Amino acid sequence: MRLVRVAVRGAALAAHLLLAAAALPYLRRAGGALSGGMTLDERFMLWWNRRACRVLGLRVRRSGALPLGPALIVSNHVSWLEVIALGSVLPASFVAKSDVASWPGIGAIAEGAGTLFLKRGSGRAAARAAADAAARLGSGRSVALFPEGTSTSGEAVLPFHAALFEAAARVGCPVQPVSVFYPRGWGCDPVAPFIGDDDFASHLLRVLGEPEIIVQLGFRAPLEAHGREREELRDDARAAVVAGLAEDRRGLCLLLHEPADAWESPALAGFLRDEYRRTAVPAG
């Protein structure tokens, strides 16, 4: 059954990728805004990502309100799957590592969809990406990025890098924190993380073989960026993402009072508890 599922979904995904590769160059050249303010390519990518979720067996759960206008969308990073999940609920230009441009099929579509590619470890490249992101925000488009700079197992949130928060500070548009979690039972789905020595092809095959993968997107309260420093925005955004993960898991009450070893993922329970206590505002 698993092999059949991989074959059927793989064929459907290949056809879906070919459709995007053929349509996006034309749609970007055509330009023009539709009702609701979205351009043709944004509307297409919203539909394409929703269809891709169905093909991959990715079920998206969303909590919280979507931003009403252009925003800098920031979230924790577990897998390439959240690019599709986020892209299925709102139009945005993503910031991705430059390696993605060479991924078979995906790289061409990412470029066609207006992805901003960033060479990691280069301060000059980060400054250029921040300027490009600010230009996109200024033109009325949202920009989405993963400020940890790498993906994780989902059991912790790494420190955020501040460089690209400069885009929101420069334009004065809000920062929208989003917590991303792949639940399975009370633990983290072991298939979703794209980490370590994983290569894209082998990870994709594992994903295609799963009956379904659930992703929870928690949209937190937006952060006002006007007149604020990028480091302040970085710290507040990370705190909001961590708080969102805690609420999405089991609620702060259970988090603070239930023993960590009662969870299927004690490591995540301990991390969230420590982070909450570290960042909580003292009473009085």
**pLDDT of 91 over the 50 cut:** yes
**pLDDT of 120 over the 60 cut:** yes
The per-residue pLDDT for 99 is 80
Number of domains making up the chain: 1
At 211-231, the pLDDT tens digits run 999 898 999 999 999 989 999
Within a domain: residue 51? yes
The per-residue pLDDT for 73 is 98
The per-residue pLDDT for 225 is 94
Within a domain: residue 123? yes
Average predicted confidence (pLDDT) for the chain: 85
Within a domain: residue 28? yes
Within a domain: residue 284? no
Within a domain: residue 89? yes
**pLDDT of 258 over the 60 cut:** no
The per-residue pLDDT for 273 is 66
The per-residue pLDDT for 125 is 81
CA separation for the pair 245, 132 (Å, rounded): 30
Confidence of residue 183 (pLDDT cuts 50, 70, 90): confident
Report the percent of the chain where pLDDT is more than 90: 53
Q: Concatenate the DSSP letters of all residues of the chain into one string.
A: -HHHHHHHHHHHHHHHHHHHHHHHHHHHHH--B-TTS-BHHHHHHHHHHHHHHHHHTEEEEEESPPPSS--EEEE----THHHHHHHTTS--EEEEEGGGGGSTTHHHHHHHTT-EEE-TT-HHHHHHHHHHHHHHHHTT--EEE-TTSS---SS--PPPP-GGGHHHHHHTPPEEEEEEE-EETTEE-SSS---TT--HHHHHHHHHTSS-EEEEEEE---B--TT--HHHHHHHHHHHHHHHHHHHHT-HHHHHHS-GGGSS-HHHHHHHHHHHHHHSPPP-
Pick the more confident residue, 133 or 258.
Answer: 133
- Give me the CATH number covering residue 160: 3.40.1130
Nearest to 6 by CA among 211, 210, 209: 209
Asked whether the beta carbons of 219 and 66 are under 8 A apart, the reply is yes
Within a domain: residue 77? yes
**pLDDT of 35 over the 60 cut:** no
The per-residue pLDDT for 252 is 43
Within a domain: residue 254? yes
Within a domain: residue 59? yes
Asked whether the beta carbons of 97 and 107 are under 8 A apart, the reply is no
Query: Any idea what the Cα angle at residue 118 is, between residues 10 and 126, rounded to 5°?
Result: 155
When pLDDT is averaged across residues 145-166 and rounded to a whole number, the result is 92
Residue 51 lies in domain:
2-279
**pLDDT of 250 over the 70 cut:** no
